[in-house]
Amino acid sequence: MPDTTTPPTVDPVAVFDGVVELIGGLVGDDLDILGVEVRADTAFHEDLGLESVDLVTLGVLLAQRFGPRVNLAEHLAEFDLDDVIGLTVGQIADYVTDRLAAG
């Protein structure tokens, strides 16, 4: 009998909101101080002032929240330094959405 299960439906808006919530936990009150509205094009380094160590922490938080299929460190290993520096919230949310949908 063929497998008739379908991949889980993933709500990209809910994933984006979850990623923003985790980033808010990392940045804390700094978001208010910086006056930054986190959008898809918000850059981790330039807009939020996050460093590579913060991306490592975010990777752990993403795996805890969304499961082991979301491996940010493995994903970022494919990027060159300039791409990591220019990383946006939307790129991370899209990555998480894609990984969850591939489940």
3-state helix, strand, coil in the chain (%, to 5): 60, 0, 40
pTM for the model stands at 0.85
Domain presence at residue 54: yes
Number of domains observed in the structure of the chain: 1
Q: What is the pLDDT of residue 86?
A: 93
Domain presence at residue 53: yes
Q: In this structure, what DSSP letter does residue 37 have?
A: P
Residue in the structure block whose two tokens are 């998480």: 96
Domain presence at residue 27: no
Q: What is the pLDDT of residue 3?
A: 47
Domain presence at residue 98: yes
| SS3 at position 54 | helix
Per the structure, the complete domain to which residue 47 belongs is given by 43-103
Residue 30 has pLDDT above 80, yes or no: no
The distance from CA 97 to its chain's CA centroid, rounded to whole angstroms, is 9
Domain presence at residue 33: no
Mean pLDDT of 64-68: 95
Domain presence at residue 22: no
Share of the chain above pLDDT 90, in %: 60
Mean pLDDT of 20-40: 78
Residue in the structure block whose two tokens are 């990383």: 87
Domain presence at residue 34: no
Domain presence at residue 1: no
